[in-house]
Amino acid sequence: MQNSISLIISAYNEEPIIEDCVLTCIDSLSTHFDDYELILINDASTDRTGQSIDELAEKHPNVVALHNKQNLNMGASIQRGMLASTKDYVTFNAADLPFDPDKYKVIMDNAPEADMIVVQRIKYNGATKWRRISSLLNRALMRLLFPILKWNIRDTNYLQITRRTVLPFLMPLAQGPIFTWPEMIFRARYLKLKVKTANARYIPKHIRKGAFGKPGDILWALKEMINFRYLLWSRQI
């Protein structure tokens, strides 16, 4: 039996590209899955992103539109989408589609028993020098704080495909855009779930400046890392 999938996309001021994003995803998902849903989250955009999402949801029955009353950032927004998901597997992407939607089915078919598939970038193109430095710092901190849980997973910040039945055990305390995904991976490994890895090319359809990696984001992530490390040490997970 073919698995169904929920694809979540959080959008903030993505008016120029959101329609192309949605139509591309619908074309890919309808080709590879008999049952799917595309959950769009308007993260309190100040342009017409919200109106566009509503119009797309009216035209396409598999599209679900959600609106944040205030900007929550990508981490918290994707978590909201996960809670609203209804299909067998749950995943996410960004509005510029850095992960090719045609590849979801291929990756899932190669790991049919996995509870979570961690997709890693083969090469991270287009990053600024500061973004590369902050990424290296992020990975070094996680290796220091979570050496066992991060072992053999190179890239924890691209995307995951997760079985929906295990999501209640993996929902993170982290709300920020950097540590949300690593915490979910670490929780899955801590609970000894079946976590597999896959590699994919990072080729966004629309090249744009990265939204994360600012000093405030890094401090936010560091605080969330230390908090999660404390919870592990005190066995409160």
Phi-psi map region of 13: left, alpha, beta (phi>0 left; psi -120 to 50 alpha): left
Q: Are 3 and 86 in contact (CB under 8 A)?
A: no
Q: What is the pLDDT of residue 205?
A: 64
* pLDDT per 10-residue tile (average), the chain, 237 residues: 89 97 97 97 98 98 98 96 98 96 96 96 68 78 95 94 98 94 98 97 66 71 95 90
Q: What is the pLDDT of residue 125?
A: 60
Q: What is the pLDDT of residue 237?
A: 81
Q: Are 62 and 36 in contact (CB under 8 A)?
A: yes
Q: Are 186 and 146 in contact (CB under 8 A)?
A: yes
Per-domain residue ranges of the chain: 5-233
Q: What is the pLDDT of residue 63?
A: 98
User: Rounded CA gap, 211 and 175, in Å?
Assistant: 16
**CATH match for 5-233 among 3.10.20.600, 3.40.50.1950, 2.40.30.40, 3.90.550.10:** 3.90.550.10
Identity at 62, one-letter amino acid code: N
pTM listed for this prediction: 0.92
